[in-house]
Structure 1
């Protein structure tokens, strides 16, 4: 069973499972979640517990879900896990950047692996593969890659699937050409000294860009490697959900533009936003792009293109 070990700053509650105290981890897997259930990911990772011993710990952060049923289910799953697991729970949401900084503060290993709760390893040697990378090369930063191997094929998620296949499911050798661009905290290895030199910017709020901006900073000081240890983004979004995320990300995009203009100018999203900024009466017809993306009678490719244009039209406010 889990045991409550302490209450610390910001009213966080910390619980460790039975395997946690005696472990001496080489790798800390850091998983934030907000109302998502992280147990499928934890159970997938736990399948490797017997072969990696105590070399890997998992630290979960419930960033203000305020869901008693979910909390009880996760606590039970943490208690069952063979891997050493720490559960950190916050009463209120503090955001993606601050939450990941908090997770790093709880990590005991000198290497972190950031994983989102809606990810799923693509093979059963996922943790072992990352341990091999650490043992052979000890990179400061390494990204393992995305896939859609285990993702839903329901029609409700077809647009997101099409967009992810085009922009995110990129092989390692292509990612390596612009290493700072493909730095997502959904499958990201970071050495402690690199993270202490460049933590996530606490001033990012809402959705998106905090990991990409971090990648731009860290790439100036450390080498960013790209490897082939993919995980599936299981949690595909509907068009409605994606549009809402884009709408909440405008301020973050503006922050990246102001801090790294020389890098962002090369991004297609920036160039499209600049082009649309010149369009007359953009605020008046921008909603039509969203309506086209929502139109289920249109082909998926057309809806995905409309949603990308809608995102660029939103970002036109920031360029």
Structure 2
């Protein structure tokens, strides 16, 4: 697929060791760029940013980004695609475009929790040159609107985990939201392009790569700003069911220990599951229920979707 490339004025002269790779689809990464730009002078061209617009088709957004790039000190490249390629293929494309020996996958809806976020990653590379490292993420800067309460509760319980706890199951807590990967590791184990839509391509990648390389967990978090409503999150879960099944087929021993897989197997035997599944979603959408109850209903809804897929 053809791509249009736009560069900041500092791109050509830079000699980056670290490439920050940020795909987006209908998100606006301008705020993230503003935050990263604060570290530009201290980094002196050692870190580059590559953005991939994966088929957003928003001329106004492209124009804003083009104008922003013209004023940045950071070396930045914007890749604009006319049509969507998908998360796995897009991240592989970003890695191909990168010039650094180490890659940092950073989602466009993330916001660094410190003013030395990139410097901390650069210092880690200098000190240890890790194969893979995950910095973690938080909800410190995330919106607190009531419509996001269920997603906030789910993320706080299962994803916003400290680095000590994450290190006990290193391959489980790996997300491309804030993930450092050495280039030779990524070239040995790229994302599986068979994963389409939303979900699980990063976890499946981690299962493969952890067999060959150490996965390091550190405390350098960024906030996940992109909280979803119940309706939006349920739609993503619906997209993710085939991906979950693909992962379970490839890594049956690991996935069999996942609570979501265990519950899906149990629900598979429940008579009239489609009816129960609709009730689970209604429970998650019921604003009058306590947030914990709604979050539990949404987790059951996801497991019920997976029951049909596995």
Q: Same fold (TM over 0.5)?
A: yes
Alpha-carbon distance in structure 2 between the residues aligned to 1:173 and 1:87: 36
Superposition deviation, residue 318 in structure 1: 2.6
Structure 2 partner of 1:303: 294
Alpha-carbon distance in structure 1 between the residues aligned to 2:229 and 2:309: 25
1:273 paired with 2:264, answer yes
Give the CA RMSD over aligned residues.
0.6
Equivalent residue runs for 1:124-135 within 5 Å: 124-135=115-126
Which of residues 18, 24, 27 in structure 2 aligns to 1:27? Answer: 18
Which of residues 24, 36, 61 in structure 1 aligns to 2:27? Answer: 36
Structure 1 partner of 2:76: 85
Alpha-carbon distance in structure 1 between the residues aligned to 2:296 and 2:135: 27
Alpha-carbon distance in structure 2 between the residues aligned to 1:306 and 1:80: 47
Gaps of 5+ in 1: 1-9
Which of residues 105, 110, 115 in structure 2 aligns to 1:114? Answer: 105
The two structures have a TM-score, normalised by structure 1, of 0.96
For residues 228-255 of structure 1, what are the alpha-carbon distances to aligned partners after superposition, in whole Å with 9 as ceiling and x for unaligned? 0000001100000000000011100000
Superposition deviation, residue 278 in structure 1: 1.6
Structure 1 partner of 2:55: 64
Alpha-carbon distance in structure 1 between the residues aligned to 2:141 and 2:200: 25
Superposition deviation, residue 15 in structure 1: 1.2
Which of residues 196, 217, 220 in structure 1 aligns to 2:187? Answer: 196
Whether the 8 Å CA contact 1:120–1:231 is kept in 2: the answer is: yes
Alpha-carbon distance in structure 2 between the residues aligned to 1:228 and 1:277: 39
Superposition deviation, residue 280 in structure 1: 1.4
1:218 paired with 2:194, answer no
The two structures have a TM-score, normalised by structure 2, of 0.99
Which of residues 179, 199, 204 in structure 2 aligns to 1:208? Answer: 199
Whether the 8 Å CA contact 1:257–1:318 is kept in 2: the answer is: no
SS at match of 2:295: helix
Alpha-carbon distance in structure 1 between the residues aligned to 2:228 and 2:189: 30
Structure 1 partner of 2:141: 150
Alpha-carbon distance in structure 1 between the residues aligned to 2:108 and 2:67: 17
Structure 1 partner of 2:166: 175
1:255 paired with 2:242, answer no
SS at match of 1:183: coil
- Flag as ranges the 4+ runs of structure 1 deviating above 6 A: none
Alpha-carbon distance in structure 2 between the residues aligned to 1:160 and 1:71: 29
Question: Between Structure 1 and Structure 2, how many residues are aligned?
Answer: 310
Superposition deviation, residue 98 in structure 1: 0.2
SS at match of 1:14: strand
Alpha-carbon distance in structure 2 between the residues aligned to 1:211 and 1:195: 12
Alpha-carbon distance in structure 2 between the residues aligned to 1:221 and 1:55: 28
Gaps of 5+ in 2: none
